[in-house]
Structure 1
């Protein structure tokens, strides 16, 4: 609906009066069926431009006076009309018309206003009530659109957050897969080598079995015994068990070490995801730090040395999988900030009111204009396609939802430090006093 059609819908055609029409004629006209629905009649000049409005209340006051009709009935309506009526152009918008009318209302409230065309000529009357109803409908329509937009925005936000989680999960899985491939690789090589080394041993066992069978056989002659003995001696020389013993010990040791590494990664991944744990429980944040470092090890190992200074921490209630997500994001960001091989310092400690985690890197740092936007959604300094700009924004929200805070300090060329503060639960006597 356009601006003009919106106001045209409010238009009520009413033949106007001329300024020299007598008051008595106006009163008679107000009694006609076509005018009964109106409280006012428009007055225009010869060119059709509005001069004012004459209301029933004004005529009632005149005729209620003693001999009012006889004294004033012949006077022109122009002498008693409201010469400053509300005038609205059909060209204005519904909002502008509502603002114009409501800003000019005065007591007693004039219920009608004059509608004019672009040339200022009278076209009809409108009522304040109809205008306000139309405005109310417009606001209701816009509120409905805003509500739908808000729902769509929340759905889009949820999808973006899920996309960021899936991107982080993909990076994590890729890192864990790479970490698993290394021990799996030499475990596989050792097994293949053991399979090759077993053949001479099996051949030696077969020749020894043939020799024993020959020794116990009554019909075994000297030639057959000599041949079986020669095969056993040759098989022993090929197997060389005295040399193989040390090799087998080394192979079994390496294989067990690789399997232990795989087991450590599996346990670390399980602890990181906390799939078998409650959504919120009392945990030691040092466990979260260790789990996140295990998962991030592939991304960090070629870029930085990790120095851990983990203090004794009280257990605090939190969602461990969410805290792990925050720490993994900080560790990966610290590794990506390195221009050469650097250092990442991870510290934990506690004070009377909170548990604190510090992640400090020796990377390239950030200028103030970047630092000011670091937690803004979709802000990223990475090339297109390499980051969504939601990692730190989600991390900020997670820490905020835990009642904590996350701060950052950085300087170009000197690195960056993130400080996470999570509140400790109050002692019972403090809770009672509070």
Structure 2
């Protein structure tokens, strides 16, 4: 047995077309049966049979053509033409058959086809049709009970059909709503799954970075010790060859300075990847800014210049690793906003009881639409595969968790400025800060 193709539950037009096609076939079969009954009642009156059959063929063919446009933009025009043809055909059938019983069956059949939800003017046309056919039949001498009975039957069929159509519309609307809810839930699950994958990847990268930093730190300790010992031995030598003076005065001191810089970067990377303890600690905001600049320097050098202006600040309480992550994300965001190069201005200052961190760039800036969504998770303007859309969301989350606030000043073509206010001591949930809630940072930050 051939089954119909199952359409989407949110495609009411496709479902209505399917119902309409089946209804059209049933209606055609009913019209043929009624016409056969009408011909049988006129048997022997060949002229009348010829007229009735010609009208039947014309009206039925026209109905079949117009029914195809039932859900098109010309629905109302097609329905108007179809109603007028059916009304005229019913009058012809009645006049030719002396209002025989079979012709009255056309009235409830037409009422079955009416759909007020598709064409609001269909019901008035049905009323005019019933009134006109009944009026002509009464003038022609038909007993009043016959048209009255079939008018009532036609109206009853119409209301039953309208209830069916209404229930169908409601069911399709309910299915559409359920489909939208399922689609929304699927999107939320997909975002959660994507976020879980990103978090797992970032966690793995953090562990990998901490391990690599540890592996680099051990040999660098030997290198630093050996170079320092070599420099001390050469300086202690009284009869040093002239060609080695350059190594004592310039090469080895510069090498030691480079080793110290590498060691500092490795230590910063280890602490940045390892994260913070749960308790808040006392930290120096300027020191965390310096750490972030060293970590992120590879992202913007050499195409971007960085101007750093750090004012004297009191020590703050919080999670220093998270604050360093904020600065790193802002620096990387600024560098990515200047693909052709530019300048980044990084400054700290004290305003009242708050420490202020300002990061300004000369990049492309943001439109108001982008500015409104910049802190939404997974929102990014980068091409697919080049960004997770979590950087600025993490910045906002860290700042708010420290009871701070962040302000963005930007315009297309005028760069962007991020201003962060951090309280010296973030208030707890009850607004009471106990000294036991904070700990001193360990001196070993490596």
| TM bin (shorter chain) | 0.3 to 0.5
From the two aligned structures, give the one with the greater helix fraction: 2
Q: TM-score, normalised by structure 1?
A: 0.48
Q: TM-score, normalised by structure 2?
A: 0.47
From the two aligned structures, give the one with the greater strand fraction: 1
